[in-house]
Amino acid sequence: MTRPPRPPSVPQPAVERMTPFAGRPAVVGVVPHQHPLVVLTAASWARAAGARLHLAYVDPTRYVVEEHPDGTVQHAPVDPDTADDRWRTTEDALRAELGAVLQDADVPWDLHYLAGRPDRALTHLARAVDAAVLVVGTRTHGAGAHLRELVEGSVAAHLTHHQHRPVLVVPLDVVDWAEGGGPWRR
């Protein structure tokens, strides 16, 4: 007995779902002390597209209480013994850091302080602002980075498999293939 194929439960990528780049914002995943190449690459894209940047930090020490239609979230600390306003210090420092990086970029930008899983939070924001693209950086290799990526997975990989928008991945640390290197050989 052959079953008829089930329709996908999640809207799939399709030509009719493409969001035009011109004038449409980009959602950019940021972290404190991130290499400026990620944000400056996104700014270059935004200038070319005549678009706004929605920079988003996803705090792993907080969880989402409620998602709002504008892409903002109400969040709370994972650890109930943590001071609830410590996140504001992180947000202020990140805003200052990004302001310094983007001071000469000549593109409008906003910072969104989000919580929970980075791929889900960035996808929610992209949907809310009708972004044309998501921009993220790769992890830099270092002690424990490879193991962390194997366990947690790549934000870029999760994004490319769980939403329909293009994902621009900015490389931050590359391996010289001529030297026989590769992530599986570390």
Tens digits of per-residue pLDDT, 49-72? 999 999 999 998 899 999 999 888
What DSSP state is assigned to residue 50? T
Q: Report the alpha-carbon distance of residue 110 to residue 116 in Å, rounded.
A: 19
What DSSP state is assigned to residue 112? E
Tens digits of per-residue pLDDT, 125-180? 999 999 999 999 886 655 444 444 444 457 777 777 667 789 999 988 877 666 66
pLDDT score of 109 more than 70: yes
Q: Report the alpha-carbon distance of residue 52 to residue 67 in Å, rounded.
A: 21
